[in-house]
């Protein structure tokens, strides 16, 4: 069974492993259509990854964890002061209505860009329309899932890996 995962967040190996576990079956052909490349290599979990952003993976993701310089490692020398001073607690400012509105507008803009890139990217569109099940992983990809579900020959589109897992166990 072909399953396509739609997501806009930068996903790590642990997050994708949790999604695969929630799906609950081993006989799935998984494809990830993501806005950005995964943080870690995920070839054994998701064999096909389509990146819509057009940018290559970040340099930080390409550097293996063993290549961290020794200066960044925590030192084993204890602090010389007998009474460490606790940092003063800073009061958190409530988020203003304008900032909330700006966040919502940016999220809506990303959702529109994601759908636009998905429908204009032939490999991503083929993966989404040729799937038996499309799983929307985050809120910014809901618009793309909704647009896919409106098509005449639409696959089943579900929001969240848990709902997709329940659907797969029912089949």
What 3-state class would DSSP assign to 2?
strand
For residue 87, the model assigns a pLDDT of 54
What's the mean pLDDT in 165-170?
88
What are 41-56's pLDDT values in tens digits?
888 888 899 998 866 4
Q: How far apart are CA 24 and CA 22, in angstroms?
A: 5
For residue 12, the model assigns a pLDDT of 86
| Sheet of 133-136, strand order | 48-51, 29-34, 2-7, 133-136, 156-159
What are 78-109's pLDDT values in tens digits?
555 555 555 555 666 677 888 888 888 888 88
User: How confident is the prediction for the chain on average, in pLDDT?
Assistant: 80
Domain topology for 2-58+100-170: Rossmann fold (3.40.50)
Pick the more confident residue, 73 or 104. 104
């Amino acid at each position: 069974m072909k399953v396509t995962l739609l997501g806009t967040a930068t996903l790590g190996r642990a997050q994708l492993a949790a999604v695969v576990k929630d799906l609950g079956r081993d006989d799935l052909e998984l494809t990830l259509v993501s806005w950005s490349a995964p943080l870690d290599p995920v070839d054994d979990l998701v064999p096909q990854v389509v990146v819509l952003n057009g940018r290559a993976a970040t340099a930080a993701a390409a550097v293996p964890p063993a290549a961290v310089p020794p200066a960044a490692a925590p030192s084993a020398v204890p602090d010389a002061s007998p009474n460490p001073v606790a940092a003063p607690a800073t009061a958190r400012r409530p988020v203003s209505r304008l900032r909330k509105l700006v966040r919502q507008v940016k999220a809506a803009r990303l959702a529109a860009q994601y759908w636009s890139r998905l429908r204009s990217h032939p490999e991503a569109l083929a993966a989404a329309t040729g799937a038996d099940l499309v799983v929307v992983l985050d809120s910014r990809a809901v618009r793309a899932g909704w647009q896919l579900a409106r098509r005449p020959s639409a696959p089943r589109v579900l929001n969240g890996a848990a709902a997709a897992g329940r659907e797969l166990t029912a089949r």
